[in-house]
Structure 1
Amino acid sequence: MSGWRPDNAPQSRVVSDRGQDDTVLPFAVERLDVRGRIVRLGPSVDEILKRHAYPPAVARILGEALALTVMLGSSLKIAGRFQLQTRGDGPVDMVVVDFDAPDRLRAFARFDAARLSQAPSGADLLGAGHLAFTIDQGAEAARYQGVVALTGQGLEEAAHQYFRQSEQIPTQVRLAVAQHVTTEGVSWRAGGLLVQFLPSASERRGPIDLPPGDAPASAAYEPPREDDAWTEAKALVGTVEDHELVDPTLSSERLLYRLFHEPGVKVFEPQGVRDACRCSDESVRNMLLGFSPQEREEMVGDDGRIGVTCEFCSTFRAFDPSDLG
């Protein structure tokens, strides 16, 4: 994820006022040495959240996780899988989002309904635990995983912490989730904005903003001065409001122009995203074959078949034990 730079040349095209759903739009603000991506999710996030009928509090967490995963996973230049996973001791004890490059997205959340109903409004629902980002690009590439502690800071701040500690790239992230009400009904929407400071001279990024561990306790630590270009970029990103990231009548291009019209912003070819699970009859059958005959016998239901429901897409499949040997 570090050092991301768009490699496709900008092309002229008509900019619509309406947002284009389920897309990731890369952009660059060259005067500020800033690169980034903006994501707008509509039908894909709505399908995923409604499929499981998540309570609103859980849907908002999973919606944020979906937007964050798409922003980070869409940086993969070759086929591969990017996964976000949280594990914690809160009412929402697990969140899993898979992004299969270039455009396949799936997700689910596990929660305790009884604990969730007793949690006060605005409470930390993930609890103490960890957030892990995993990149798997197949057998020919090394698997990468970055982990950051969850201590009640939420996904947006956890992402900032990850980039400070693991990537050491000045990064600003904004996430938003909301329900959109129309005459046709209510639908979920999610959006996100990621901006990174990537000057050609790496020393301009500045060292990580943590005090050196070997300094004596009495020593005063002065963090390095922040680059003026990054200070300006952060200030502009800080003006983004949640509703702007999920407004279907505001296109990504128009939002970027609002933010960066003074320094100038270039946008690149958008990338589509779709709700698509990777499960199949064959993959589930192979999974069952990994169990011993005795274990499979214990899975047989009253109808004499083995039933399996995919946690991601909720598809139910039934297998005859005799077909599994």
Structure 2
Amino acid sequence: MTYQDQIAQTGLAGDDRVVPFQVEGLDVRGRAVTLGPLVDAILARHNYPAPVARLLSEAIALTVLLGTSLKFEGKLIVQTQSDGPVNFLVADFTAPDGVRGYARFDQEALDQAVAEGRIQPHELLGKGVLAFTIDQGPDMRRYQGIVALDGETLEEAAAVYFRQSEQIPTRVKLASAELFDRDAEGKPRHRWRAGGMVVQFLPEAPERMRQPDLHGGDGDTGSQAHEEDDTWAEAQMLAATVGAEELTDPDLGVERLLYRLFHERGVRVYDAQPVHDRCSCSEEKIRSVLAGFTAEEITSTIENGEIRVACEFCSSAYLFKPEEFGVSQ
């Protein structure tokens, strides 16, 4: 029996479904996901080079893990801006289940980095920032948290964000994989997968969540000593054992992985939440943006008698006539 057959018969979550979980014996809660068709479809639209695809797929995994925890109608945007070969990543989650992603990179700088073997995430991203933006709609103020990217991976920077902004001890695991195999008919196929897990320490006694202060940089001589809670240390140790191949294995499944990690402490999983490859662009939204342009700006966008706008996320193309905006040719 294949894993897909087991999903159908047992109700396992399968791909593209975020699974919330709780380990009462360790006072931790979290979310885990394996992404298959969703991330493969997003990456296929742009035919990104493999190093770029790996970074964007991890950013998408992080975004769906955090976005599905939103308790309101709104949007979570996760993006990087940096000076490395991959200088911009963005993924956003629109509640309750829509995900999209996009990357920008310098092809020449990327080729040089690959030739020199500089293909680790921190080497491709370089120095910059990782920003988390929560948008609750036009009548609500946006919230944004920013952490530095300075030699860290996305998962390391995300953990720092939680520690600084949310004051919650957090461990983040992200992974991506490029698979070459054969389909049910024996034909060769290429596909991308991604996976992730967020584990957070949430004991009933808030004082147990206290952690050592982050180092303040050069000249900081303050004491960093503080004994870490034993259960959180154990939870981190277990989470650290998760390999990239486990987070992306199409035949393992989230529930099996969670059981493998935490069964001795009693892990409980909750209803999975599906996520979908869904762009929020539309003809109406783009027309509204163009309506705010001046006549001169509209004129500068005209090519062959029409205005063509392509969505960077989903590559959908929208065509408009200049006359719609009061501009004659």
TM over 0.5: yes
Residues 124-163 of structure 1, C-alpha deviations (whole Å, 9 max, x = no match):
1111110100011124443211100111212011112112
Residues 11-54 of structure 1, C-alpha deviations (whole Å, 9 max, x = no match):
xx9354xx611110000001110000001111110011110000
| 1:309 and 1:316 in contact (8 A); partners too | yes
1:198 has 2:202 as partner: yes
* 3-state SS of paired residue (2:309): strand
Match of 2:241 in 1: 239
Match of 1:282 in 2: 284
| 2:214 and 2:224 in contact (8 A); partners too | no
TM-score normalised by L of structure 2: 0.89
Match of 1:3 in 2: none
* 3-state SS of paired residue (1:176): strand
* 3-state SS of paired residue (1:67): helix
Rounded Cα–Cα distance in structure 2 between residues aligned with 1:196 and 1:147:
19
Q: Which runs of 5+ in 1 are unaligned?
A: 1-12
Q: In 2 relative to 1, CA 81–247 (structure 1 residues): closer, same or farther, beyond 3 Å?
A: same
Match of 1:149 in 2: 148
Match of 2:322 in 1: 321
State the identity %. Answer: 54
Displacement, 1:222?
A: 4.5
| 2:38 and 2:277 in contact (8 A); partners too | yes
Rounded Cα–Cα distance in structure 2 between residues aligned with 1:299 and 1:259:
55
Match of 1:159 in 2: 158
Match of 2:298 in 1: 296
Match of 2:5 in 1: none
* 3-state SS of paired residue (1:286): helix
Higher helix share: 2
Displacement, 1:316?
A: 1.1
| 1:103 and 1:274 in contact (8 A); partners too | yes
Rounded Cα–Cα distance in structure 2 between residues aligned with 1:137 and 1:162:
20
Rounded Cα–Cα distance in structure 2 between residues aligned with 1:296 and 1:210:
50
Rounded Cα–Cα distance in structure 2 between residues aligned with 1:280 and 1:216:
51
* 3-state SS of paired residue (1:26): strand
Cα RMSD after superposing both structures: 1.8
> Which aligned pairs between 1:1-325 and structure 2 lie closer than 5 A?
14=10, 16=12, 20-119=14-113, 120-121=116-117, 122-123=119-120, 124-184=123-183, 185-210=189-214, 217=221, 221-301=223-303, 303-325=304-326
TM-score normalised by L of structure 1: 0.90
Rounded Cα–Cα distance in structure 2 between residues aligned with 1:142 and 1:26:
28
Displacement, 1:210?
A: 2.5
| 1:104 and 1:274 in contact (8 A); partners too | yes
Rounded Cα–Cα distance in structure 2 between residues aligned with 1:234 and 1:257:
16
Q: In 2 relative to 1, CA 212–161 (structure 1 residues): closer, same or farther, beyond 3 Å?
A: closer
Q: Which runs of 5+ in 2 are unaligned?
A: 1-8, 184-188
Q: In 2 relative to 1, CA 212–186 (structure 1 residues): closer, same or farther, beyond 3 Å?
A: closer
* 3-state SS of paired residue (1:157): helix
Rounded Cα–Cα distance in structure 1 between residues aligned with 2:17 and 2:207:
33
Residues 151-202 of structure 1, C-alpha deviations (whole Å, 9 max, x = no match):
1212011112112222221111110000122213011000001100000110
